[in-house]
Amino acid sequence: MKLRTKLFALMTALVLLSSCPAAPGGGGGSADEAKFSEIRQGLTAAAGISFTAQIRADYGDKVLDYTLDCVVSNGETRLTVKSPELIAGVTATVKDGGAALSFDGLVLDPAAVGDSAVTPLTAPALIVAALREGHAANLRREKLDDLNVLVAEVLDTQNNTETFWLNPDTGALLRAEIASGGRVIVTCTCEGWSVG
């Protein structure tokens, strides 16, 4: 009988403790959820988003590095390649998951720059779409370059896990990763994040 009473007391304590809110700074609490919701609402309401993305796509057998100027507006993402230098100036438009590349009126196959559903040219559109609409599975705080950032893990519409490092004060996206099948395929560092 004493064992049953002790087990009941232990179970009651565990139930009560599991309903306690997370400690401040522990991450994943309602403050982080509110902040992520606020950032997401700003992105959803924005007429446009612009940024420069330094992208590394690692397919295992090859690695592609790109720097892209990105402008998201009116349901499409317009990209201008800054590097590699060989194709600097090439532009691409991503709309509804499809991409069209053009240079001096010539339209190219986007598969030429990646043979995955996630390419350096489709990554910025996937990132912005997941920030706006993806299912937030995990929120936490961590340090990135001496800044306490909000980290959001989001499941996108293609069942990729996208991880975002956001400045909680400005809402700016600082870094993003896209993982498929448990492996990071794309890493993106963002500069000049502007929402308007």
pLDDT above 80 for 36:
yes
Total structural domains within the chain: 1
Task: Return the higher-pLDDT residue of 90 and 115.
Answer: 90
At 119, the pLDDT band (50, 70, 90 cuts) reads confident
- The three-point CA angle 116-78-117 to 5° equals 10
% of the chain surpassing 70 pLDDT: 74
Q: Which residue has the higher pLDDT, 107 or 94?
A: 94
pLDDT at 96 over 60: yes
Mean pLDDT to the nearest integer, 91-110: 66
Counting beta carbons within 10 angstroms of the beta carbon of residue 50, is it exposed (0 to 12), middle (13 to 18) or buried (19 or more)? middle
Tens digit of each residue's pLDDT (9 = 90 or more) over 78-95 = 999 999 999 899 888 888
Query: Does a structural domain hold residue 62?
Result: yes
* pLDDT band with cut points at 50, 70 and 90 for residue 192: very high
Size (the chain), residues: 196
- Answer yes or no: is 9 within a domain: no
Closest CA to 185 of 56, 22, 21: 56
- Is there a domain that residue 179 lies in? yes
Q: Is 64 exposed, middle or buried (0-12, 13-18, 19+ CB in 10 A)?
A: middle
Supply the mean pLDDT for the chain.
Answer: 82
- Please report whether residue 102 resides in a domain: yes
Query: Could you tell me if residue 84 is inside a domain?
Result: yes
pTM, two decimals, is: 0.79
User: Would you state the pLDDT for residue 106?
Assistant: 58
- Domain of 167, in residue numbers: 28-195
CATH number at residue 48: 2.50.20.10
Burial 143-176, CB ≥16 within 10 A → b, else e? eeeeeebbbbbbebebebbbbbbbbbeebbbbbb
Question: Has residue 195 got a pLDDT over 70?
Answer: yes
- 5-25 residue pLDDT tens: 443 343 333 333 333 333 333
At 103 the pLDDT is 55
In a domain, 23, yes or no: no
